[in-house]
């Protein structure tokens, strides 16, 4: 097969069709359910760190049944929050972290989490990935959130050549058209979980095989 030039708009349009049967990534699913404020999205992102979407999304729903704002969260003890968010990875530490963040938002930002990258990343344990997801999903700002799926797949395409998700974020900010900045995370998370998987990607069933450089791919599956 002759490889076609890689056109990111075409690739993402095809991937949008391919991932239609799969559940959306946790934060997008929660936003669709109405949990779309910056504070809710930040709490959900913290719960999702090193935790399966299936686990973190249920924990987020349990948490939001009791607390959706910083003031509501501060009305509960860390022990109680810990019970709601178990079995997320590091659930006890995350319970204390969420309370600490709520306290900062109450005392320094008037109870409203600002849509501001510097303010978000100044909060305890909040990195660029969560900050950009909050900005993109809750604030409607152009922001690229690069998790392990986005990093791995864009490198396999040959679209970027980077060693870390942080480098990928910088490279994508230079290269990816801005209207696709939020879309790329929304699409590549389910695509990375179900088709372009970490080990043995399903290249035989991939809608962008004809334009993918398959960089670093040594073992593939047909279906």
Near ligand SF4 by CB under 6 A: residue from 14, 61, 109, 202: 202
Stretch that binds ligand SF4, among 78-86, 99-107, 128-136, 206-214 (CB under 6 A): 206-214
Nearer to ligand SF4, 8 or 120 (CB): 8
Is 208 a residue that touches ligand SF4 (CB under 6 A)?
A: yes
Near ligand SF4 by CB under 6 A: residue from 67, 101, 144, 212: 212
Which of 29, 66, 32, 67 lies closest to 48 in space, CA to CA? 29
Cβ atoms of 93 and 60 within 8 Å: the answer is: no
Near ligand SF4 by CB under 6 A: residue from 129, 156, 183, 184: 156
Cβ atoms of 95 and 85 within 8 Å: the answer is: yes
d(CA 89, CA 57): 13
Near ligand SF4 by CB under 6 A: residue from 62, 97, 206, 223: 206
Long-range contacts for 163-169 (Cβ within 8 Å, ≥24 apart)?
165/129, 166/128, 169/128, 169/132, 169/144
The conformational region for residue 93 under phi > 0 = left, psi -120 to 50 = alpha, else beta, is alpha
Stretch that binds ligand SF4, among 68-76, 116-124, 165-173, 202-210 (CB under 6 A): 202-210
Binding site for ligand SF4 (CB under 6 A): 153, 156, 195-196, 201-203, 206, 208-209, 212, 214, 217
């Amino acid at each position: 097969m002759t490889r076609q030039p890689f056109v990111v708009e075409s690739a993402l349009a095809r991937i949008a069709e391919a991932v239609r049967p799969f559940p959306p990534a946790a934060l997008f699913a929660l936003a669709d359910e109405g949990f779309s404020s910056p504070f809710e999205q930040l709490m959900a992102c913290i719960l999702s760190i090193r935790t399966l979407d299936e686990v973190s999304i249920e924990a987020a729903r349990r948490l939001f049944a009791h607390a959706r704002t910083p003031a509501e969260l501060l009305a509960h003890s860390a022990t109680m929050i810990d019970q709601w968010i178990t079995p997320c990875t590091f659930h006890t530490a995350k319970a204390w972290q969420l309370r600490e963040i709520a306290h900062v938002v109450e005392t320094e930002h008037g109870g409203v989490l600002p849509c501001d990258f510097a303010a978000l990343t100044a909060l305890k344990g909040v990195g660029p990935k969560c900050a950009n997801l909050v900005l993109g999903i809750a604030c409607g700002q152009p922001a690229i959130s690069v998790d392990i799926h986005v990093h791995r797949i864009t490198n396999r395409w040959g679209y970027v050549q980077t060693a870390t998700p942080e480098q990928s974020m910088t490279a994508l900010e230079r290269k990816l058209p801005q209207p696709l900045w939020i879309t790329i995370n929304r699409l590549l998370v389910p695509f990375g979980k179900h088709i372009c998987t970490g080990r043995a990607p399903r290249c035989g069933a991939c809608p962008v095989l004809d334009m993918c450089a398959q960089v670093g791919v040594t073992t593939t599956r047909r279906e």
